[in-house]
């Protein structure tokens, strides 16, 4: 099933959804009795008060605080009829990125008939967007909204680039300070740039770097580095991880460096990205 294709963007399309009252007049004939009377001029002189129409209020909801991206999910809302007539409450549950005006997506539908002062719980099933971060649920005929955080428990990190650099001080030095050779005996730096997922404000990952002499395929260096940060966002972010290595005693020649990253929360591991460089005398 193409989940991403299933979700459609709600733009200027008119949605036929809302609430309608079921009046007693719909089932009672005009000559069935009652207090409705008219004077000789034809004016209605009924002593009965006007019937208040149905009115609906969202009184409770069951929406997970965290939902997994791009998966089926169910939520529920409890609606009370605060009006004076039985009515049908129907509409769409929509979801959109918080603080973003456009890009509202249809999540699912709800519909039930509710009597005055009655509460009804309605289940809504839909598909969670593939994006991540803070999202808002809206209901087309109800004023209340609800928020949730969309995360990705199966998030897999992706390596974008690996380079040897002359020095690394900040993000971007992987490109601006890239070099292709180091001198025997020097301490050099390898940097991997990768995209990893921030889960509910927490980033945890382990990077591993391995270096091999290309002619013999002998491994001359290996190290793993754990990183954890608390950040003010969720979803995918790009990171650079610098690792220093000492080339003392290495033979001149071509070397191959391999870089891998593991998301320590989802336990998913990236593919391996490689780069080659020269060690010279």
CA distances from 25 to 21, 98, 100, 115 (A): 11, 44, 45, 16
Task: Give the pLDDT band (50/70/90) at residue 47.
Answer: low
145/112 same-domain check: yes
- Tell me the C-alpha distance between 18 and 89, whole Å: 6
Question: In the predicted model, is pLDDT for residue 17 greater than 60?
Answer: no
pLDDT, mean of residues 233-252: 92
Question: In the predicted model, is pLDDT for residue 26 greater than 70?
Answer: no
Q: Is 145 or 66 the better-scoring residue by pLDDT?
A: 145
0.75 exceeded by pTM: no
Three state DSSP letters for 69-108: CCCEEEEEEEEEECCCCEEEEEEEEEEEECCCCCCCEEEE
- Tell me the C-alpha distance between 158 and 192, whole Å: 11
100/17 same-domain check: yes
132/112 same-domain check: yes
CATH of residue 171's domain is: 2.60.40.3880
- Tell me the C-alpha distance between 185 and 250, whole Å: 8
Give the list of residues 6+ apart from residue 14 with CB closer than 8 angstroms, or none. Answer: none
260/170 same-domain check: yes
Question: How many domains are there within the chain?
Answer: 2
């Amino acid at each position: 099933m193409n989940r991403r294709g299933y979700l459609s963007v709600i733009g200027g399309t008119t949605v036929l959804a809302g609430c309608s009252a079921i009046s007693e007049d719909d089932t009672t004939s005009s000559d069935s009795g009652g207090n409705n009377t008219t004077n000789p001029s034809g004016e209605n002189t009924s002593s009965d008060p006007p019937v208040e129409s149905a009115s609906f209020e969202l009184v409770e909801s069951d929406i997970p605080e965290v939902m997994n991206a791009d998966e089926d999910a169910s939520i529920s809302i409890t609606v009370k009829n605060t009006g004076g007539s039985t009515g049908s409450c129907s509409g769409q549950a929509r979801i959109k990125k918080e603080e973003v005006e456009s890009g509202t997506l249809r999540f699912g539908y709800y519909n039930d008939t509710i009597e005055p002062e009655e509460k009804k719980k309605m289940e809504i099933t839909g598909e969670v967007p593939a994006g991540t971060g803070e999202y808002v649920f809206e209901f087309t005929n109800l004023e209340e909204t609800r928020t949730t955080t969309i995360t990705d428990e199966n998030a897999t990190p992706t390596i974008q680039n690996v380079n040897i650099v002359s020095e690394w001080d900040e993000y971007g030095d992987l490109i601006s300070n890239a070099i292709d050779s180091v001198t025997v005996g020097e301490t050099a730096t390898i940097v991997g740039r990768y995209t990893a997922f921030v889960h509910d404000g927490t980033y945890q990952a382990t990077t591993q770097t391995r270096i091999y002499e290309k002619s013999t395929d002998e491994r001359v260096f290996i190290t793993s580095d754990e990183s954890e940060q608390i950040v003010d966002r969720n979803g995918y972010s790009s990171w650079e991880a610098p690792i220093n290595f000492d080339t003392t005693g290495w033979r001149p020649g071509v070397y191959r460096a391999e870089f891998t990253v593991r998301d320590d929360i989802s336990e998913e591991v990236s593919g391996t990205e490689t780069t080659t460089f020269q060690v010279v005398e």
